[in-house]
Structure 1
């Protein structure tokens, strides 16, 4: 339906200038309802009074009692300003991009006097500068090592005051300038290294090369030959890296993002196929609940600036299933950000259209998987979002537990709860190594480190929440492991058995939730399942060791035949109870007979001894 006319804002809108800028709808309390951009503020705002709109925007206009505006010099500036307002003000009727915590970024902590480079999966408003996402995820680790090698920016988390007596090993390896020790470097030199790092990670290598060449010649003219040689080597590494990037971005090896959109039941899903060097490296999935029947055009128009505002890697081409409003301004901004021409495509036939169709199918499948329960969240997940101040209800929780046997043989287990179900296919167990005696803290740290190091190397998604069985000590051990991997911002808690207290990083006292709390019950479910799995894996390992030792006592049984027996029969009891024919089928006629005779000779001797003891 159309908005009734005249609308209270009609006169105000007619007074808006015919210039680029952003418009801001507000409600009766002065709260921002919606922010939009326009090449003509007057024409764009007038369209809300005269055109039919989707229910979301109809509801917004019905609540609006005031409209403000900010004039810009161009449509591109309006796009940037709109994006900043949406990011900081989070208007209720705009479609907001949720925290993209799954993908790896590098973080340069510019808020520190001596910034450090770090790995993270969360982009925060914390005055740091972020670079990424890196695909595949292992490239982020390589980039950190390259930054250390080229510019010697620190990676440690210690407070820098120059008061340490000696530097760490990284300084000796020429991987850090050593600002932690007075006299090893200067603030000016370190700031220059940080600026070079920013240029390098932003992809502005031409500007960096010019800067390095200038510094190299100045050092040579000043007879600082050691520094000149160092700059020469850095320059060579940067130019080599640049050549590799250009090779990957060649015409033959496509570098593009392909979008698919699916909207149904008031919920929306977007799938992005990320192609780099002609290969699909990743598939990103984004979801929105209760957005109403939004069109693909409207959805893409609102989210594309938010997505590419968070990344320093802009593809050469972006393939879409529907056009976007303000395409010219978007392309101008993207091209300036990439420092070369970027293209938006709407493929209608051929391989490119087939890729868009594939992305659309992926979006449909993602929508069905995410919203198959009618969009209803788990009550436990919703409660944990509130208790733990999470960004959204956790959809995947990974729980860890430790099991010992008689002072040795420590086994760690990891179980997975995802969208209301235990995902047994994702369970993992870890044989804890290198401990001379039981140590729960060290065991938890080792299991967590091994689990997420592998996940990061394989570019897998980190869970929304990690649960540790234990108290403050176990939680701190797990936090140390996450910090070593650079993902300490991943939400994590521990649950102590005795009082069922929930320990949360940064809180001095544990949470004591009511026994019937849905969030506590979900944590207990995951914790108990982790314990059950740890005990079962421990029992299986112990039984396998017992079976091996018993079979090793039999003549004619080596590693190969032992494996055959285990594969075919499964347990020592089954081996003992197997008929001669079965053993001969597995081991052959001669060896099968030998094993059968040995097993039954031992049983006969045991029976004879029992009868003798009974007669006595």
Structure 2
């Protein structure tokens, strides 16, 4: 029923004062629904004339175009998935891919990412980031071991969803680490693939390494399955970098404030909550800084002098 659709649609959308539809709608029922549930007066029109008919016609055309594009995208994605399955000789039951990447700056602020591709699409609600702390700075192998162990330890005991395929952003070394971890955890029936950057780190020249094979497999650059591999790998890279940058920014804020004598975790928090960010603290006057809970005049002067 159109009434049910309208009611469900506006549970998480801005409710307008006027709804125009080409379908017959029980106007009094819908008006009563919005009044009772949202205390909003909404007028529903079944027969549009004048400008409202023009709007309705435009809305219909836009909906048809959007549906056509959605169907084309769905068909294109299905082709890419089928091509990927052909590259790795995957079974028809194949569905879930997880891809890992490591990001840091000169070994500092290491963050690992895991992105998930399932049921033909990236599942961003299932993405995860992992802060990597207890390793030698810059040791990508140790970082990869830690993230894989943390990710799959629970899955090995029956919790969570086991992937059919794991992509590792890296060459033979990172792939061998992944093989070791998966074997240690007793997981089976998971294909592991290392995605190594090609010559000059140019897109399209990536090499794919498989467990048990010395040489990379050769895939044509125009293979749509290869394009899907690149998309998933790029998403893992983006997600890792954004997490790493956020970690670095947080560290800069924390360290810059806590370098000031008399500023601990609580006063730092009070300052950030009051001003909304480090830049506003830097630009604040002594009189403004004194307004923060726990900050006296002497400490406010220290904070001001630190940034000036």
Task: Name the TM-score, length of structure 2 as normaliser.
Answer: 0.65
Equivalent residue runs for 1:319-358 within 5 Å: none
Shift of residue 411, structure 1, vs aligned partner? 2.1
Larger radius of gyration: 1
| Residue number among 143, 157, 165 corresponding to 1:465 in the alignment | 165
> Aligned residue for 1:401?
101
Output the CA distance in 2 between the equivalents of 1:380 and 1:578. Answer: 54
> Aligned residue for 1:597?
301
SS of 1:591's equivalent in the other structure is: coil
Q: 2:232 aligned with 1:532, yes or no? A: no
Output the CA distance in 2 between the equivalents of 1:480 and 1:579. Answer: 57
CA gap 1:464/1:591 in 2 versus in 1, 3 angstroms: same
Aligned-residue RMSD, C-alpha: 2.9
Output the CA distance in 2 between the equivalents of 1:505 and 1:548. Answer: 43
Output the CA distance in 2 between the equivalents of 1:439 and 1:471. Answer: 14
Output the CA distance in 1 between the equivalents of 2:245 and 2:149. Answer: 24
| Residue number among 189, 214, 237 corresponding to 1:508 in the alignment | 214
Higher helix share: 2
CA gap 1:444/1:595 in 2 versus in 1, 3 angstroms: same
- 1:401, 1:534 within 8 Å by CA — same for their partners in 2? yes
Q: 2:252 aligned with 1:519, yes or no? A: no
> Aligned residue for 1:127?
none
Task: Name the TM-score, length of structure 1 as normaliser.
Answer: 0.34
- 1:384, 1:393 within 8 Å by CA — same for their partners in 2? no
Output the CA distance in 1 between the equivalents of 2:297 and 2:80. Answer: 59
Output the CA distance in 2 between the equivalents of 1:466 and 1:409. Answer: 24
SS of 2:295's equivalent in the other structure is: helix
Shift of residue 479, structure 1, vs aligned partner? 1.1
Output the CA distance in 2 between the equivalents of 1:428 and 1:452. Answer: 12
CA gap 1:594/1:391 in 2 versus in 1, 3 angstroms: farther
> Aligned residue for 2:155?
455
Output the CA distance in 2 between the equivalents of 1:373 and 1:419. Answer: 15
Equivalent residue runs for 1:16-55 within 5 Å: none
> Aligned residue for 2:251?
545
Shift of residue 516, structure 1, vs aligned partner? 1.6
Equivalent residue runs for 1:315-464 within 5 Å: 378-392=78-92, 394-457=94-157, 459-464=159-164
Deviations 1:146-179 (A, max 9, x none): xxxxxxxxxxxxxxxxxxxxxxxxxxxxxxxxxx
> Aligned residue for 1:482?
182
CA gap 1:391/1:481 in 2 versus in 1, 3 angstroms: same
Structure 2: any 5+ residue segments left out of the alignment? Answer: 1-69, 199-204
Output the CA distance in 2 between the equivalents of 1:581 and 1:519. Answer: 61
Q: 2:260 aligned with 1:554, yes or no? A: yes
- 2:94, 2:164 within 8 Å by CA — same for their partners in 1? yes
Deviations 1:7-55 (A, max 9, x none): xxxxxxxxxxxxxxxxxxxxxxxxxxxxxxxxxxxxxxxxxxxxxxxxx
Output the CA distance in 2 between the equivalents of 1:503 and 1:373. Answer: 34
Equivalent residue runs for 1:6-155 within 5 Å: none
Shift of residue 410, structure 1, vs aligned partner? 2.6
Shift of residue 388, structure 1, vs aligned partner? 0.7
Deviations 1:287-314 (A, max 9, x none): xxxxxxxxxxxxxxxxxxxxxxxxxxxx
Shift of residue 393, structure 1, vs aligned partner? 6.5
Shift of residue 448, structure 1, vs aligned partner? 0.8
Deviations 1:519-559 (A, max 9, x none): 11111111112112222212221222221111112343212
Output the CA distance in 2 between the equivalents of 1:568 and 1:396. Answer: 45
SS of 1:378's equivalent in the other structure is: helix
Output the CA distance in 2 between the equivalents of 1:452 and 1:568. Answer: 41
Equivalent residue runs for 1:564-583 within 5 Å: 564-566=270-272, 571-577=277-283
SS of 1:466's equivalent in the other structure is: strand
CA gap 1:568/1:603 in 2 versus in 1, 3 angstroms: closer
- 1:395, 1:419 within 8 Å by CA — same for their partners in 2? yes
CA gap 1:599/1:460 in 2 versus in 1, 3 angstroms: same
CA gap 1:436/1:378 in 2 versus in 1, 3 angstroms: same
Structure 1: which 4+ aligned runs deviate by more than 6 Å? 372-375, 579-582
Shift of residue 447, structure 1, vs aligned partner? 1.0
> Aligned residue for 1:250?
none
Shift of residue 562, structure 1, vs aligned partner? 2.1
CA gap 1:457/1:569 in 2 versus in 1, 3 angstroms: farther
Output the CA distance in 2 between the equivalents of 1:545 and 1:424. Answer: 26
Name the stretch that deviates more: 397-406 or 376-385.
376-385
Shift of residue 569, structure 1, vs aligned partner? 5.1
